[in-house]
């Protein structure tokens, strides 16, 4: 499906409180195009709780329930059960949470909901930081990145949420990126048609958080994929398929670009390039990425 | 009507399913476990037809109840002590979101050290969350209060969640005969929940987004008004229940031999029940003592207490301690009288950590107060520690 063929449905109303170039609103527009208006969304504390705008206004044209930071999946479980009791099983329940609400504080509730086979779509928009609170590290923040709590650059590598999710052996999970609207759309469409728990993670480059100009969001996402920092894939009943450029990288049909090509445009990595190049840390990043792809090849090729 | 002889928890499970909640979400903790097991059994027998979500924590239990309640259905859960404390953030959330969740809390000691016996510090420490709080003193009262609680919580003039507390083991694990009305009678008393608003695709509303101070303050005031409404509704609902089923446990307060009393004892939960024996004995000795068993700690029955204070001196027993201050009931009783009555109020802390409080202990406490030889807030049985 080409972008021009996506449905006209718009549930993100004009005038939201998002930053210019915000990946969350880009992602949400596509999500609703795929899911349609027969959808209820649960949102924990994250940027989206701000994007929604001030009471009594809203920037979403579907019912939204806000919930506490760590609680998206559990709150959605309740909504889903209530809808079933009311015979409204055709309504899609979606939890839309940030990486902080997913990788860190919300992982317990998420794991529980997946294990209980809750019939919902859990979407994590991953901007690799706590943006809402002003750019602090999360379990998704990459090694070396500056945040306000990793001032000299993060000293640990990010965790692999995708692999944690796979350990739950749910019917469908996927990784996608805001820069690939068709990929995002198709994955959501597929998820909507499957019963049981679905997990979709969206790479979401955040201009103020990563320190790049607001018109570069799409480019930052494409580069994340082309450098292999992020992989597009989907897992259906434990069968893993890589998509787009990620498939070509996996099959070694193309070389992934050096991570350096991606991070040199992001102010959060500036200290790795200035005053002089931090060869050691840059090498560590490349090696870690290679290890990830080697593991992918070993397990999934 | 049938007679069921069973423990407080199994009676609570029976009441919960007879209220026909659409969603129950719960997590086990001693001494609440038999309550959730009881409900699980009703799932097996088909007597409970709603959803039973076995969540991975109490925090998620409350979140799931919140989600389900926001989607418009009736919800129930139960917990105790550490489970209640883990829910704390979501207790505020449920109340501020104006969701009529009903929950049992089995009053149990908070650790460390681990101790599963009765103590009211768990629920007392949740007093400012906006939940209506009942304290029960018999299994029959547990049954009746749970059904009534749904009616109260779901009333449009209230829309606040309700917590029904009862003491660990003394009630949760002690069998008593309980009259159980027929399902049809309960259905007549408690109609299906009709929510004024809910998550509805035909009316897409965003609930709980950012709110500025002026609007937020209005929400708080509305909660306060609704709590005042509850104060009026609790007696009405209790009377309706009495008319229908012939049983009555009091309104905000249960009064026992308060006529012509010169001293009135105030207590909650199981100590409140035990006190009746003490009052009978004291009366036999010619001491004019009555009992006001406080059933609702929130809304606090301050008008009733002022009336009692105008009649008699007050003796308060707390099975809780607000460290750095005094027993919570003691504080609130005094606050209710402030500037309106100069009645003497004697405060005692008793039964913390599950220490037994017998009718004999209660008689000693009352006699001590009558002699007037009481420190500001005395720890009964712990002098010199
Ligand atoms: C229990 C709790 N702890 C901390 C916070 C403060 N808080 C709100 S949003 C947030 C970070 C959210 O990060 P993420 O989930 O990645 O979403 P983003 O802001 O990046 O969109 C934090 C720490 C909170 N609301 N609740
Ligand atoms: S900080 Fe980033 S994710 Fe948050 S609203 Fe702004 S652009 Fe969007
Ligand atoms: Mg984030």
Report the alpha-carbon distance of residue A258 to residue B90 in Å, rounded.
45
Rg value, chain B, Cα: 20
3-state SS of chain A is: CCHHHCCCCCCECCCCCCCCCCHHHHHHHHHHHHHCCCEEEEECCCHHHHHCCECCCCCECCCEEECCCCCHHHHHHHHHHHHHHCCCCCCEEEEEEEHHHHHHCCHHHHHHHHHCCCCCEEEEEECCCECCCCCECCCCCCCCCCECCECCCCCCCCCCHHHHHHCCCCCEEEEEECCCHHHHHHHHHHHHCCCCCEEEEEECCCHHHHCCCHHHHHHHHHHHHHCCCCCCEEEECCEEEECHHHHHHHCCCCCCCCCHHHHCCCHHHHHHCCCCCCHHHHHHHHHHHHHHHHHHHHHHC
The verdict on B286 and B340 lying in the same domain is yes
The verdict on B198 and B278 lying in the same domain is no
Residue B156 lies in a domain: yes
Q: What's the CA-to-centroid distance between A208 and ligand 2, angstroms?
A: 7
B178-233 pLDDT per residue, tens: 999 999 999 999 999 999 999 999 999 999 999 999 999 999 999 999 999 999 99
* Nearest partner of B8 among B180, B120, B174, judged by Cα: B174
Report the alpha-carbon distance of residue A6 to residue B236 in Å, rounded.
57
Q: What is the CATH number of the domain that holds A280?
A: 3.40.50.970
Mean pLDDT of all residues in B376-383: 88
pLDDT higher than 80, residue B383: no
Residue B118 C-alpha from the chain's centroid: 14
Looking at the structure of chain B, the number of domains it has is 2
How many other C-beta atoms lie within 10 A of the C-beta of residue B370? Answer: 18
Question: Which residue, by CA, sits nearest to atom 3 of ligand 1?
Answer: A69
The pLDDT, as a whole number, for residue B10 is 98
pLDDT higher than 60, residue A151: yes
Pocket lined around ligand 2, Cβ cut-off 6 Å: A 18-19, 22-24, 47, 51, 127, 131, 206-209
Residues B274-296: b if buried by 16+ CB within 10 A, e if exposed: bbbebbebbeeeebbbbbbbbbb
Residue with tokens 């009534």: B148
ipTM: 0.97
Report the alpha-carbon distance of residue B199 to residue B222 in Å, rounded.
21
The verdict on B298 and B278 lying in the same domain is yes
Mean pLDDT of all residues in B25-44: 98
A with B: how many residue pairs have Cβ under 8 Å apart? Answer: 159
The DSSP 8-state label assigned to residue B193 in this structure reads: P
Mean pLDDT of chain A: 97
Name beta bridge partners: B316: B266, B347
Q: Which of A54, A62, A75 sits opposite B63 (nearest CB)?
A: A75
Mark which of B195, B216, B245 sits at the end of a domain: B245
B91 touches chain A (CB under 8 A): no
Residue B385 lies in a domain: no
Cβ-contact A234, A177 below 8 angstroms:
no
The verdict on B182 and B273 lying in the same domain is no
A126-138 pLDDT per residue, tens: 999 999 999 999 9
Q: What is the CATH number of the domain that holds B332?
A: 3.40.50.920
Looking at the structure of chain A, the number of domains it has is 1
Cβ-contact B174, B7 below 8 angstroms:
yes
pLDDT band at residue A300 using 50, 70 and 90 as cut-offs = confident
Mark which of B226, B245, B264 sits at the end of a domain: B245
Mean pLDDT of all residues in B350-374: 95
Whose atoms come closest to the Cα of A16: which ligand?
2
The verdict on B124 and B24 lying in the same domain is yes
CA atoms within 13 A on the CB side of A244: 23
B50 touches chain A (CB under 8 A): yes
The verdict on B239 and B289 lying in the same domain is no
Name beta bridge partners: B104: B78, B164
Structural domain containing residue A219 = 3-300
A155-185 pLDDT per residue, tens: 999 999 999 999 999 999 999 999 999 999 9
Which chain A residue lies closest to B197 (C-alpha atoms)?
A: A63
Q: Between chains, do A60 and B204 touch, taking CB under 8 Å as contact?
A: yes
Non-local (6+) Cβ contacts of A151 within 8 A are: none
pLDDT higher than 80, residue A278: yes
Numbered residues of chain A with Cβ closer than 8 Å to any chain B Cβ:
37-40, 42, 49-50, 52-56, 58, 60-68, 70-71, 73-86, 91, 108-109, 111-112, 115-116
B59 touches chain A (CB under 8 A): yes
The verdict on B217 and B111 lying in the same domain is yes
pLDDT higher than 80, residue B385: no
Angle at Cα B78 formed by Cα B73 and Cα B83, nearest 5°? Answer: 120
B135-175 pLDDT per residue, tens: 999 999 999 999 999 999 999 999 999 999 999 999 999 99
Question: Which residue, by CA, sits nearest to atom 8 of ligand 2?
Answer: A22
Pocket lined around ligand 1, Cβ cut-off 6 Å: A 45-47, 69-70, 97-101, 127, 129-133, 138
Structural domain containing residue B269 = 253-379
The pLDDT, as a whole number, for residue B384 is 56
Cβ-contact A39, A188 below 8 angstroms:
no
CA atoms within 13 A on the CB side of B322: 14
How many other C-beta atoms lie within 10 A of the C-beta of residue B117? Answer: 18
Cis omega (within 30 of 0) on the bond before B112?
A: yes
Question: Which residue, by CA, sits nearest to atom 1 of ligand 1?
Answer: A69
The pLDDT, as a whole number, for residue B198 is 98
Residue B340 lies in a domain: yes
Name beta bridge partners: B290: B264
| Cα distances (Å, whole numbers) of residue A161 to A89, A138, B63, B197 | 28, 12, 23, 36
The verdict on B278 and B235 lying in the same domain is no
Give the nearest ligand 1 atom to A97 CA: 15
The DSSP 8-state label assigned to residue B130 in this structure reads: S
Residue in A17, A28, A43, A100 to alter for ligand 1 test, most ligand atoms within 8 A of Cβ: A100
The pLDDT, as a whole number, for residue B278 is 98
Cβ-contact B48, B39 below 8 angstroms:
yes
B374 touches chain A (CB under 8 A): no
How many other C-beta atoms lie within 10 A of the C-beta of residue B303? Answer: 11
Residue with tokens 């799409």: A218
CA atoms within 13 A on the CB side of B79: 31
Report the alpha-carbon distance of residue B275 to residue B290 in Å, rounded.
9
Mean pLDDT of chain B: 97
Name beta bridge partners: A200: A123, A174
3-state SS, residue B164: strand
Question: Which residue, by CA, sits nearest to atom 4 of ligand 2?
Answer: A47
Residue with tokens 């990830």: A292
Q: Which of A38, A62, A82 sits opposite B67 (nearest CB)?
A: A82
The secondary structure element, H or E, covering residue B103 is strand B102-107
Q: What is the CATH number of the domain that holds B202?
A: 3.40.50.970
The pLDDT, as a whole number, for residue B14 is 98
Report the alpha-carbon distance of residue A77 to residue A90 in Å, rounded.
15
Residue B384 lies in a domain: no
pLDDT higher than 80, residue A1: no
Mean pLDDT of all residues in B296-320: 98
The verdict on B142 and B177 lying in the same domain is yes
Report the alpha-carbon distance of residue B40 to residue A255 in Å, rounded.
56
Residue B287 lies in a domain: yes
The secondary structure element, H or E, covering residue B328 is helix B328-337
B249-282 pLDDT per residue, tens: 999 999 999 999 999 999 999 999 999 999 999 9
Mark which of B199, B224, B245 sits at the end of a domain: B245
The DSSP 8-state label assigned to residue B347 in this structure reads: E
What sign does the dihedral A166-A168-A174-A175 (CA atoms) show? negative
**The tokens of A165 are what?**
């999710």
The verdict on B201 and B282 lying in the same domain is no
B67 touches chain A (CB under 8 A): yes
What sign does the dihedral A212-A216-A218-A220 (CA atoms) show? negative
The verdict on B211 and B313 lying in the same domain is no
3-state SS, residue B139: helix
Residue B68 lies in a domain: yes
């Amino acid at each position: 499906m080409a972008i021009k063929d996506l449905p006209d449905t718009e549930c993100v109303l004009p005038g939201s409180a998002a930053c210019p170039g915000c990946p969350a609103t880009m992602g949400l527009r596509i999500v609703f195009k795929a899911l349609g208006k027969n959808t209820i969304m649960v949102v924990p504390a994250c940027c989206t709780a701000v994007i929604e705008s001030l009471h009594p206004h809203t920037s979403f044209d579907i019912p939204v329930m806000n919930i506490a930071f760590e609680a998206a999946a559990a709150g959605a479980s309740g909504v889903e059960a209530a809808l079933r009791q009311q015979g409204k099983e055709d309504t899609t329940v979606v939890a839309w949470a940030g990486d902080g609400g997913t990788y860190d504080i919300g992982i317990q509730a998420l794991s529980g909901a997946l294990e209980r086979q809750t019939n919902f779509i859990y979407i994590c928009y991953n901007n690799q930081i706590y943006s809402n609170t002003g750019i602090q590290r999360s379990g998704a923040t990459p090694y070396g990145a500056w945040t306000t709590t990793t001032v000299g650059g993060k000293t640990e590598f990010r965790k692999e949420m995708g692999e944690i999710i796979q350990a739950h052996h749910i019917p469908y999970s996927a990784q996608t990126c805001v820069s690939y609207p068709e990929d995002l759309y198709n994955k959501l469409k597929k998820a909507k048609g499957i019963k049981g728990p679905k997990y979709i993670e969206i790479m979401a480059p955040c201009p103020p958080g990563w320190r790049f100009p607001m018109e570069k969001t799409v480019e930052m996402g494409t580069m994340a994929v082309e450098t292999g920092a992020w992989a597009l894939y989907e897992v259906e009943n434990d069968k893993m398929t890589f998509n787009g450029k990620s498939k070509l990288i996996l099959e070694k049909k193309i070389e992934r670009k050096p991570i350096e090509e991606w991070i040199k445009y992001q102010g959060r990595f500036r200290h790795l390039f200035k005053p002089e190049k931090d060869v050691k840390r840059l090498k560590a990043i490349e090696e870690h990425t290679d290890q990830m792809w080697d593991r992918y090849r070993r397990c999934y090729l | 009507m049938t007679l069921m002889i069973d423990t407080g928890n199994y009676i609570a499970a029976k009441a919960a399913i007879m209220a026909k909640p659409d969603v129950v979400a719960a997590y086990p903790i001693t001494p609440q476990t038999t309550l959730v097991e009881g409900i699980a059994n009703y799932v097996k027998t088909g007597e409970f037809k709603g959803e039973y979500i076995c969540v991975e924590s109490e925090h998620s239990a409350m979140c799931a109840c919140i989600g389900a309640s926001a989607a418009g259905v009736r919800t129930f859960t139960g917990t105790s002590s550490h489970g209640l404390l883990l829910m704390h953030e979501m207790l505020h959330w449920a109340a501020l979101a104006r969701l009529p969740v009903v929950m049992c809390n089995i009053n149990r000691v908070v650790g460390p050290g681990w101790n599963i016996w009765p103590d009211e510090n768990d629920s007392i420490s949740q007093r400012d969350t906006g939940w209506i709080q009942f304290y029960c003193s018999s299994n029959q009262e547990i049954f009746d209060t749970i059904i009534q609680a749904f009616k109260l919580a779901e009333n449009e003039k209230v829309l606040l969640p309700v917590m029904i507390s009862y003491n660990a083991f003394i009630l949760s694990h002690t069998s008593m005969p309980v009259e159980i009305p027929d399902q049809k009678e309960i259905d007549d008393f408690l109609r299906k929940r009709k929510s004024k608003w809910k998550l509805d695709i035909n009316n897409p509303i965003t609930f709980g987004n950012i709110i500025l101070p002026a609007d937020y303050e209005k929400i708080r005031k509305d909660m306060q008004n609704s709590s005042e409404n509850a104060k009026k509704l609790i007696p009405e609902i209790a009377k309706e229940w009495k008319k229908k089923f012939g049983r009555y446990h009091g309104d905000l307060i249960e009064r026992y031999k308060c006529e012509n009393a010169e001293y009135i004892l105030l207590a909650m939960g199981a100590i409140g029940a035990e006190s009746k024996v003490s009052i009978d004995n004291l009366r036999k000795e010619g001491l004019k003592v009555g009992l006001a068993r406080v059933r609702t700690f929130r809304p606090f029955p301050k008008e009733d207490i002022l009336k009692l204070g105008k009649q008699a001196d007050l003796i308060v027993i707390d099975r809780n301690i607000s460290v750095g201050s005094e027993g919570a009931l003691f504080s609130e009783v005094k606050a209710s009288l402030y500037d309106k009555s100069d009645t003497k109020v004697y405060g005692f802390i008793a039964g913390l950590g599950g220490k037994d409080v017998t009718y004999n202990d209660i008689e000693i406490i009352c006699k001590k107060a009558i002699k007037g030889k009481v420190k500001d807030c005395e720890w009964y049985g712990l002098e010199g520690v």
